[in-house]
Structure 1
Amino acid sequence: MDFLSIARSALAQQPFSVHMGAEITHCSPQHTEIHMPMKDEYTQQYGTAHGGALSFLADTALAFAGAAALQSIVVTSEFKIHYLKPAVGHRLTARARAISHGQRQAVCQCDIYALKDGEEKMVATAIGTILPR
């Protein structure tokens, strides 16, 4: 199954994801990777990424990782995010994977990195439960 093509098609049908500039570059049952540009509109008053932008990216990556693991259309049941350090740079990358899954749910983990001056720094981590729709 071509998970990446399916995921790209699904992401392209999400107006908010398109608005945010999210691009899925890898999607398989083993892991998912999504990139998003760091635009001024996504920052707060200190010039770092707003938590809402990071949460969007985490939720999206968790859902695609869960969808690939469950091989199903899915919804996010819940997720928790930990902001580790200020996100500064020109691109954000989310890397997610299912850490446990059965037929009725997938528990997924996602790390978010900010790219600045050619160096990635982990800025957030999230865990969530993904359910078949």
Structure 2
Amino acid sequence: MDALMEMGQQVLAKQPFSTLLGTKLTRFERGEAELQLPLRVELHQQHGFAHGGVLSYLADNALTFAGGSAMQVPVVTSEFKINYLRPALGTRLIARARALHAGRRQAVCHCDIVALTEQGETLVAVAQGTIAAMSNRESE
């Protein structure tokens, strides 16, 4: 395992919410990240598909991993927007994010979220966000 992936897995392990959900970091390169989450019934809403909050969580976290690795400093999400395209049904959700532009203070990133079924992958949501560098004081 390379140093960046090891560091990314350590960061994810320090997130109690991600641990609770069972999120895994499956790809992590400079400016790119992939998170996967088993889609259990506990993560569904009343109509039987993934709750929008679960998709938003995945987008937020994947965008931040992509932006942080591009900027190579501690970061937080400044803002993001998500478009839900269709109900997320299947066995697993996969969020793939990449930095579109990274500067010293912020990165703009894009994320696709797909649901994995026996038939393959279905795009269920897209997101775009701004990831901000934390000041030295904020990261302590």
> Root-mean-square deviation (CA), in Å?
1.0
TM-score normalised to structure 2 length: 0.92
After superposition, give the CA deviation of every residue in 1:43-72 in whole Å (9 maximum; x if it has no partner).
011110000000000000000000100001
The alignment status of 1:121 with 2:122, answered yes or no, reads yes
Which protein is bigger by CA-based radius of gyration?
Answer: 2
Structure 1 unaligned spans of 5+ = none
- 2:108 and 2:31 mapped to 1: Cα distance? 13
The alignment status of 1:86 with 2:93, answered yes or no, reads no
Change (3 A) 1:4 1:118: farther
> Cα distance, 1:30 vs. partner?
3.8
Q: Please name the residue that 1:26 is paired with.
A: 27
- 1:41 and 1:125 mapped to 2: Cα distance? 23
Say which SS state the counterpart of residue 57 (structure 1) adopts.
Answer: helix
> Cα distance, 1:118 vs. partner?
4.4
TM-score normalised to structure 1 length: 0.97
Say which SS state the counterpart of residue 108 (structure 1) adopts.
Answer: strand
**How many pairs align?**
133
> Cα distance, 1:3 vs. partner?
1.4
User: How does 1:31-70 map onto structure 2 within 5 Å?
Assistant: 31-70=32-71
Say which SS state the counterpart of residue 67 (structure 1) adopts.
Answer: helix
Q: Percent identity?
A: 51
Structure 1 segments of 4 or more deviating over 2 A?
none
- 1:70 and 1:18 mapped to 2: Cα distance? 25
Q: Please name the residue that 2:18 is paired with.
A: 17
CA contact (8 A) 2:31 2:68 kept: no
> Cα distance, 1:28 vs. partner?
1.1
- After alignment, is 87-96 or 115-124 more displaced? 115-124
**Which letter maps to 1:26?**
R
